[in-house]
Chains A and B, each alone.
Chain A
Amino acid sequence: MTRIRIILIALGIAALVAAPIGQGNYIIYTLTSWLLFSISAMGLNLTLGYAGQVSLAQAGFMGIGAYVTALLTLAGVPWIAAALISITSCFAVGLLLGWPALRVQHHFLAFVTLAFNTLLFLVLRNEEEITGGSFGLVGMPRPSVFGIATDSNLNFYYFALACFLVSAFVMWWILRSPWGRAFKALRENPIRAESLGLKIRRQTLLAFAIGSAFGGLAGALQSPLVQFIEPGSFALIHSLKLLLMVVVGGAGFFFGPMLGAAVVILLPELLRFTEGYYLIIYSALVIVLMVFSPQGLIGLGQKLWNQFRPRHETRRDMKKGFQL
């Protein structure tokens, strides 16, 4: 890392710490939502942007995380233990789901995850003895960290921020590791990567499972944030929303998912003046963005940047594109 980057990242973190100070509850709550969706989108980005697989069950994994955490914390288990169990269960489910799907053709993970997400919704709704059915679960406690309660929105924001920074660091570490670097090789040239001895299927499977585990953590945070969960919040449509977040921000870029999550969450606010039309405008913008810059907003930014600095080489690794 160059010195400039370190400074920029330190500034970014400082901005995140300062962001909620003096703000109303709504802003703090929205920022917390953004952190949480960023974590989830970051996980999906690993699956999508680095391993090139489409998962349509990221909201489902958030659901698993949220329900596991809710049930455990309501039973008196401390949050941290509940969260770890949530993350592990999502990882395990990811392995179970991805293994058979990746055994066959390349794009079948998308179909299997789509079916899984819808099935999960049905189970959450129908098994009401455990999950509370369509009435959902209410009143999950917010955790205490080192004796400090996170009941106030501001404290919970810092708690979520800590989780976010840890996840971002873990993600960064994964991508920097030889194992993570292998993905870049894979993306650039799968045939060469395979000939160099990379086990593509195992790599992809692990990426999907880890990506799902990030969804689990996001869900574990959602339970105490909203203090209410119901099956509808984890339906297929929300998985599509997460997919849009990642691609709009820029799949395969480290900061892409965070940007994408910010766009999706803040957009209703920014387009408030358009009354009910914000979703129409948003969806039209996404189509236009995909036509002109399939690498999302960050890709668009880079393109513009390179216009001014023509000597810079464009990213070759993105050119291959992904296959569903």
Chain B
Amino acid sequence: MAELIQILISGLAAGSIYALAAVGFTLLWQASQTINFAQGEFVMLPAFFVLVGMGLGLPMWPAIGFALILSLLILGALFKKLVVEPMLPHGTLPLVIATIALGLLMKESVKEFYGATAQPFPAIFPQKVYQFAGASVSVQDIGNLAVSMLAIGGLQLFLNRTRTGRCMQASAQNPAVAEILGVDVKRMVMYTFLINAALATIASVLISPIYLAKFSNGETLGLVAFIAAIVGGFNQIRGALVGGLLIGVIDNLSAVYVSAEYRSAMPLILLIAIILLRPQGLLGTKEGRAV
């Protein structure tokens, strides 16, 4: 029992971070049909911004702020202006290729300019561990889970309750009509990209103390975010959240109870099963967006 609780808590803590990346992923898809193959690298990079900031002499929190600003600028605004915008008229494929190349660019740049080996990353939560029903629960686990949930919950509120949020939804669902109704669609799309950059920064700051900061982190994280988004439902924030948590838990469960050798196969099998049985994803809605 203690074993199971341990696995569930650790799985949820890791899964909540995957969810952050997955939510950003679905946002971009909804707003601009961008399948961002560089999403994993988007989570990898802000950690290095933090490290650079601290290298310049900033304490941890200001360094995180510094990373957030850089991420909003580079991963949000510049990414949209320089890469996505000029390519939108060409359809999805060139953009997919461009994001694959962008992922490679970010990965290789970090490797060449910062280093190929993993770097220790400062923890934002105290390194305390408590015993709970026989399981070891760290403040870090709970903190990660809480911050991710707050971020996603806040985002959900923002999208549903504020005027800007609803305009963003309208722009995503039907840009033409939204435009006619006087919504500045371009600006709404830009907001989406900024939100994605912010989510990626949060995910990066949460996961790097555990995962360590390394140029190649995006490979694993990107794949997980991708699977979580599809499993949960490509057009729903709630879906991506559930998808992320589910992948985190399933990964751990299958490592303990099924087969450690095939632990990474389970999420993939789930993915294929979902596509066959419920293509809109667990929580996705059917109409979605015509592709």
Spell out A's residues near B (CB within 8 Å). 48, 54, 100-101, 104-108, 111-112, 114-116, 118-119, 122, 125-126, 236-237, 240, 243-244, 247-248, 251, 276-277, 279-280, 282-284, 286-287, 290-291, 294, 320-324
Instruction: Pick the contact of B91: A118, A277, A323 (CB < 8 A).
Output: A323
A125–B230 Cα distance when bound, in Å, is 26
Instruction: Pick the contact of A112: B37, B87, B104, B275 (CB < 8 A).
Output: B275
Contacts of A247 in B (CB 8 A): 93-94, 97
Are B94's CB and A294's CB within 8 A?
Answer: yes
B210 part of interface (Cβ distance < 8 Å): no
Contacts of B265 in A (CB 8 A): 118-119, 122
CB within 8 Å for A280 and B92 given contacts A101-B275, A323-B291: no
B264 part of interface (Cβ distance < 8 Å): yes
A119–B263 Cα distance when bound, in Å, is 11
Contact with A along B235-275 (1 / 0, CB 8 A): 00000000000000000000000000110110011011001
Instruction: Pick the contact of A286: B98, B109, B261 (CB < 8 A).
Output: B98
Are A114's CB and B275's CB within 8 A?
Answer: no
Contacts of A286 in B (CB 8 A): 97-98, 101
Are B100's CB and A108's CB within 8 A?
Answer: no
Are A108's CB and B279's CB within 8 A?
Answer: yes
- Measured CB to CB, the nearest residue on chain B to A324 is B92
Closest chain A CB from B239 CB (angstroms): 14
B42 part of interface (Cβ distance < 8 Å): no
Are B291's CB and A107's CB within 8 A?
Answer: yes
Are A321's CB and B105's CB within 8 A?
Answer: no
A323–B97 Cα distance when bound, in Å, is 12
Contacts of A276 in B (CB 8 A): 112
A104–B281 Cα distance when bound, in Å, is 12
Contacts of A243 in B (CB 8 A): 97, 100
A116–B219 Cα distance when bound, in Å, is 17
B193 part of interface (Cβ distance < 8 Å): no
Chain B residues touching A, range: 35 or more
Contacts of A108 in B (CB 8 A): 275, 279
Instruction: Pick the contact of A290: B87, B227, B269 (CB < 8 A).
Output: B87
Are B262's CB and A280's CB within 8 A?
Answer: no
B18 part of interface (Cβ distance < 8 Å): no
A247–B94 Cα distance when bound, in Å, is 8
Contact with A along B65-90 (1 / 0, CB 8 A): 00000000000000000110011001
Are B93's CB and A294's CB within 8 A?
Answer: yes
Closest chain A CB from B76 CB (angstroms): 17
Contacts of B230 in A (CB 8 A): 111
Instruction: Pick the contact of B92: A122, A277, A322 (CB < 8 A).
Output: A322
- Measured CB to CB, the nearest residue on chain B to A117 is B268
Known A115-B272, A247-B93, A251-B93; 15 more pairs at CB < 8 Å: A105-B291, A115-B227, A119-B265, A125-B261, A236-B223, A240-B100, A243-B100, A244-B97, A287-B101, A290-B101, A321-B92, A322-B91, A322-B93, A323-B93, A324-B92
Are A119's CB and B108's CB within 8 A?
Answer: no
B35 part of interface (Cβ distance < 8 Å): yes
| 6 nearest CB pairs, A to B | A321-B91, A294-B94, A286-B101, A283-B105, A294-B90, A283-B104
B96 part of interface (Cβ distance < 8 Å): yes
Contacts of A324 in B (CB 8 A): 35, 92-93, 96
Are A291's CB and B91's CB within 8 A?
Answer: no
Contacts of A105 in B (CB 8 A): 279, 291
Are A115's CB and B291's CB within 8 A?
Answer: no
CB within 8 Å for A291 and B108 given contacts A115-B271, A320-B91, A323-B92: no
Are B104's CB and A118's CB within 8 A?
Answer: no
A4–B98 Cα distance when bound, in Å, is 36
CB within 8 Å for A321 and B90 given contacts A237-B219, A279-B104: yes
Residues of B20-35 whose CB lies within 8 A of A: 35
Are B102's CB and A321's CB within 8 A?
Answer: no
A244–B92 Cα distance when bound, in Å, is 14
B95 part of interface (Cβ distance < 8 Å): yes
Contacts of B271 in A (CB 8 A): 111, 115
Instruction: Pick the contact of B105: A126, A284, A290, A320 (CB < 8 A).
Output: A284
A244–B99 Cα distance when bound, in Å, is 11
Closest chain A CB from B223 CB (angstroms): 7
CB within 8 Å for A280 and B112 given contacts A247-B93, A323-B91: yes
Instruction: Pick the contact of B108: A118, A279, A322 (CB < 8 A).
Output: A279
Contacts of A100 in B (CB 8 A): 275-276
Contacts of B104 in A (CB 8 A): 279, 282-283
- Measured CB to CB, the nearest residue on chain A to B227 is A115
- Measured CB to CB, the nearest residue on chain A to B226 is A114
Are A321's CB and B93's CB within 8 A?
Answer: yes
Contacts of A115 in B (CB 8 A): 227, 268-269, 271-272
A116–B227 Cα distance when bound, in Å, is 12
Are A106's CB and B93's CB within 8 A?
Answer: no
A323–B279 Cα distance when bound, in Å, is 17
Are B94's CB and A280's CB within 8 A?
Answer: no
Closest chain B CB from A138 CB (angstroms): 22
- Measured CB to CB, the nearest residue on chain B to A323 is B92
Contacts of A279 in B (CB 8 A): 104, 108
Are A104's CB and B279's CB within 8 A?
Answer: yes
A104–B97 Cα distance when bound, in Å, is 23
CB within 8 Å for A287 and B112 given contacts A107-B291, A108-B279, A118-B268: no
Closest chain B CB from A120 CB (angstroms): 10
Closest chain B CB from A292 CB (angstroms): 8
CB within 8 Å for A291 and B86 given contacts A119-B265, A243-B100, A283-B104: yes
Contacts of B96 in A (CB 8 A): 54, 324
